[in-house]
Amino acid sequence: MVSETPATQKPATGTPAPKTPDELFAFLDALGIAHKTLRHPAVFTVAESVALRDAIPGGHTKNLFLKDKKDNYFLLTVEENATVDLKTVHTLVGGASKFSFGKPEALMALLGVIPGSVTAFGVINDVEKRVTLVLDADLMAEEIVNCHPLTNEATTSIASADLLRFAEATGHRPLVLKVTA
């Protein structure tokens, strides 16, 4: 059981509570998706998570919560060491205008997580389907992809094909694009 963190606490009245890691795992189980989770001290940056590499094989992620000038939201999930050109990446996503970083309030409202816990699994909380999930093609070439399970106090390993199945089961049709330099 993961202890309650700001990422799993209930939001203000009137909005549904974000899913907990245990609810995420139950959702994956219901889909028949194999997953393995390693609990660890909270990590907030890619640099802080490097010490976990030997214990967790596979592709590790960096996540960018972005919005365009039309207030469309995007979650770019790329390999942890990838370089993303924020000045041009919007041109790869059809119809998007120039990107900027989304605000923490929008991150919590849409994906149910706080900065430092951003994850592709966050689309489970996007019940209104306002966020477009963009998965980098290089990351998706990995057999196993590692993501935070809605908290930065653990890492969950899942097959890349199952990450696609998960996203589609939440009602999101992820875009798999070459978005890194």
- pLDDT tens over the chain, length 181 residues: 333 333 444 444 456 899 999 999 999 999 999 999 999 888 777 777 776 777 788 999 999 999 999 999 999 999 988 999 988 999 998 778 899 999 999 999 999 999 989 999 999 999 999 999 999 999 999 999 999 999 999 999 999 999 999 999 999 999 999 988 7
Neighbouring C-beta atoms of residue 14, cutoff 10 Å: 5
- Domains within the chain, CATH numbers bracketed: 21-44+56-177 (3.90.960.10)
Measured CA to CA in angstroms, residue 158 lies from 88, 105, 172 at distances of 30, 28, 17
- Confidence at residue 10, expressed as pLDDT on a 0 to 100 scale: 42
Return the bridge partners of 34, or none: none
Cβ within 8 Å of residue 104, ≥6 positions away: 114, 115
pTM of structure:
0.88
